[in-house]
Structure 1
Amino acid sequence: MAYISGGLAMLRSVVNSLPTSEQKIANYILSTPETVVTMTVKQLAEGSKTSSAAVIRLCKSLDLKGFQELKMRIAGDVQKQSSAEYRDINEGESVHHIIGQMTQNGIQIIKETEEMLRLEDVEEAVATIHEAGSIHLFGIGASGLVAADGQQKFLRAGRYAFCLQDPHMAYTTLSNVKENDVAIAVSFSGETNEVIQYLRLAKKNGMKTISITKYGSSTISQLAEIPLYTSATQEAMIRSAATSSRLAQLHVVDILFMSYVSNYYEEVVESLDRSRAAIDEQK
């Protein structure tokens, strides 16, 4: 990104779950973002009829380093061109329109996910994966498909990667892990019960833990040592399975994998070549 952004998307994601005073500040910022970028903490507190302490608490609730980072992100948002809103698909719409709308939704959630990811968190996750003896990925439903995609990628990179869809089998694999192994938990809501139990068991067994959830505080993101976030934009009401959320999760897995390949290129590229050759031999 040429400039840091994502402040408004973060606020929209969590505004309804914030305490009253922080919610007032968030709504004030969302209503007049252009004016907030030049304000001090005191001025924002006065404008939103709250307190300076509440402004600081809001920044902490957003997991930001401080008010300056919030202002920088909002300033980046203000500089960007406004994008189309997410939209549900209605009965009787043309295939042409559905193609355009789903494409727009996909582009938007990927861009918002870029804004939610912290560079330092991604770097730490990549280093943790490199140091791990084995990688265990777990998710339920559409998130399970994302976990399976991660397994396929890291297997081809020469890593021991496991993804078992059955929760009992997945829990069983954690009984023989080593402390440098890593568990990657995937859940859009961050509240999927089976994934919570999986992460708790992983931590109990001393594993390093990484989560991929929507932005905001959740049980899974709080349990994980390294929380990675996607956009928290809600899915369309009519759907047979996750669409935008799955795309965002796959995007995070792709970022982790490509960063891993780039950082450890010499040791990974040989494994990738061997796996490609093995597949080509079967054709």
Structure 2
Amino acid sequence: MSSGALVLLEEMKELLPPSEQKIAEFILQKPEKVVRMTISELGEESQTSSAAVTRLCKSLKLKGFQDLKVRISGDLGRKKEVGTRDIKPNEPVEATIHKVTDLAVQTLLETAELLDSEEMLRAVETVLNCRSIHFFGVGASSIPAIDAQQKFLRIHKSSTAFTDSHMGATIVANANQEEDVVVGISFSGETIEVIKIIELAKKKGVKTISLTRYGQSTLADLADISLYTSPTKEANFRSGATSSRLAQLHVLDILFMSVASKQYESTIGYLDATREAIEAIQSSSFRRKKK
């Protein structure tokens, strides 16, 4: 079942016009009631109008009121999170396992619901048609950048991953306007180093893709194509931004698999060649150790 409506509403409500904001707040307060209402009833109960409800659905990029209700139902059908996400002093390992796992699963499910398939398709086509793809992220966001580079190199797509802004500026300054793509990764969408790199790429006329948390941000507004992860907030102890990093890895893996699917036969050939090369290296190393 589709879901993600309540996350969308929570993130977007401050950006909506007053009438749509009133509807969003009503839905967030009484989601169980809304799934049983007609569009006219929701307009009346929220002291707005059915036309305002329709506009809200468009603002959220949903297909209509029925789509909104289906997604709310999906949200209500999910297991409610119990207690705090943070660990407690001397907490049993079993409880920690469940807390960390529940948050990871929640983040991935929300990310899947928030991904716009049309925007992802644009990203896939852009990557398919480019010569080189350059991933840039700092801090925790550097890990998905490095992982993505490794994946794309395995299917014969020239890739770089950089975390140093000076090196990034050098790469982007020499990027080709028609053949290269720059991907900026930042959970907040406000990481100044990533913003500067994307600004530089835009000035050069190089195509850009952003990967940020859902919602308005400087980075997402700058990029030609915007991909989003769940905006789920981290627990206090998770300074490494574990769930947001998982979501970033997930989106980039979807991008990779979609590109691989579009060039299926050649991808299989490249992966086989990569596997054989690695096995040959490992076999050589093992023989040397035995001697």
Q: Which TM-score applies when normalising by structure 2?
A: 0.87
Q: Comparing 247-256 with 12-21, which one deviates more in the overlay?
A: 12-21
1:109 to 107, 120, 128: 107
Q: Which runs of 4+ in 1 moved over 6 A?
A: none
What amino acid sits opposite 2:273 in the alignment? Answer: R
Letter in 1 for 2:10: R
Offset of 1:66 from its aligned partner?
4.6
Match of 1:84 among 81, 86, 92: 81
**Structure-2 residue corresponding to 1:172:** 170
Whether the 8 Å contact between 1:109 and 1:233 is mirrored in structure 2 is yes
Q: Which residue number corresponds to residue 287 of structure 2?
A: none
Residue correspondences, number: 280
Give distance in 2, aligned partners of 1:45 and 1:169: 54
Q: Tell me the equivalent position of 1:248.
A: 247
Match of 1:191 in 2: 190
* Aligned pairs (5 A) from 1:59-208: 59-78=57-76, 80-84=77-81, 87-178=85-176, 179-208=178-207
2:218 equivalent to 1:219: yes
Distance (whole Å) between structure 2 residues aligned to residue 140 and residue 21 of structure 1:
39
Q: Post-superposition shift, 1:56? A: 4.7
Equivalent-residue separation in structure 2 for 1:71 and 1:205 (angstroms): 44
After TM superposition, the structure 1 stretch with the greater mean CA deviation from structure 2, 255-264 or 14-23, is 14-23
Name the CA distance, whole Å, in 2 between partners of 1:223 and 1:237: 30
Matched letter for residue 252 of structure 1: V
- Name the CA shift for 1:75/1:96 in 2 (closer, same or farther; >3 Å): closer
Q: Deviations over 1:70-115 (max 9, x none)?
A: 334224434x333425712233323332122111111111111111
Structure 1 residue 20, shift from structure 2 partner: 4.7
Kindly indicate whether the alpha-carbon contact (under 8 Å) linking 1:138 and 1:195 is maintained by their aligned counterparts in 2. Answer: yes
Q: TM-score w.r.t. structure 1 length?
A: 0.89
> Shift of the alpha carbon at 1:49?
2.1
Residue 24 of structure 1 deviates from its aligned partner by 2.4
Measured in 1, the distance between the counterparts of 2:11 and 2:236 equals 17
1-structure distance, mates of 2:7, 2:195: 26
Give the secondary-structure state (helix, strand or coil) at the position aligned to 1:163.
strand
Matched letter for residue 170 of structure 1: G
Distance 1:29 1:14, change over 3 A: same
Deviation of 1:65 after TM superposition, in Å, equals: 4.8
Cα distance in 1 for partners of 2:63, 2:222 equals 20
- Which structure 2 segments of 5+ residues have no match? 283-291
The amino acid that maps onto 1:274 is A
Q: Which entry has the higher C-alpha Rg, 1 or 2? A: 2
* Counterpart Cα distance in 1 of 2:116 and 2:203: 26
Separation in 2, partners of 1:236, 1:61: 30
Amino acid at match of 1:217: Q
